[in-house]
Amino acid sequence: MGLLDSVIGAMTGGQQAQGGAGGGLGGLIGMVTSNPQLLQAVTGMLGNDGEHGGLGGLVSKFEQAGLGNVVGSWIGNGQNQPVTGDQLTQVLGSGAISNIAAKLGVSPDEAAGQLSNILPGLVNHLTPNGQAPAGGLGNAGDLMGMLGGLLHKS
């Protein structure tokens, strides 16, 4: 569970540095970029060209599952509310989580756990003004560029 432990450690540091891109974000992005499959899964969820309809589609899925306040906290300027792997599976569907797990080479529960640890902080840092951009976060390629830019600032 080295990757998961590292991501959790990065998230703890990232939440302490709420005001900006601190060392926690650098660690988080370092973990994501060192695992191309995890990076592909995350950009697939958040990119406008992804199967979930980008950030707006993800927000809609959270709202439909009764968890709009959770994803809203990630976009807003306050403290990020956590999401469990089970909740993420409920939001995205077991089929989507199973597909991600297959790409990562882990169990669906482990994939959902990894994503649940990464998404709150990542969405928070990709929406620095406390609101989602009207046009979404862009396609997966745009997100890769944004993640690279955030990594260099950290």
CATH number, position 63: 1.10.10.690
pLDDT for 28 equals 61
**Exposure pattern of 103-136 as b/e (b: 16+ CB <10 Å)?**
ebebebebbbbbbbbbbbbbbbbbbeeeebeeeb
In a domain, 149, yes or no: yes
pLDDT for 12 equals 40
In a domain, 109, yes or no: yes
pLDDT for 82 equals 94
Instruction: Give the total number of structural domains in the chain.
Output: 1
In a domain, 51, yes or no: yes
pLDDT for 124 equals 86
Q: Report the predicted TM-score, pTM, of the whole model to 2 decimal places.
A: 0.72
In a domain, 17, yes or no: no
pLDDT for 84 equals 96
* Domain boundaries, position 72: 26-153
In a domain, 99, yes or no: yes
In a domain, 38, yes or no: yes
Residue ranges of the chain whose pLDDT lies below 50: 1-23, 154
Distance, in Å, from the CA atom of 7 to the CA atom of 68, rounded to the nearest integer, reads: 24
In a domain, 134, yes or no: yes
pLDDT for 2 equals 38
pLDDT for 78 equals 84
In a domain, 72, yes or no: yes
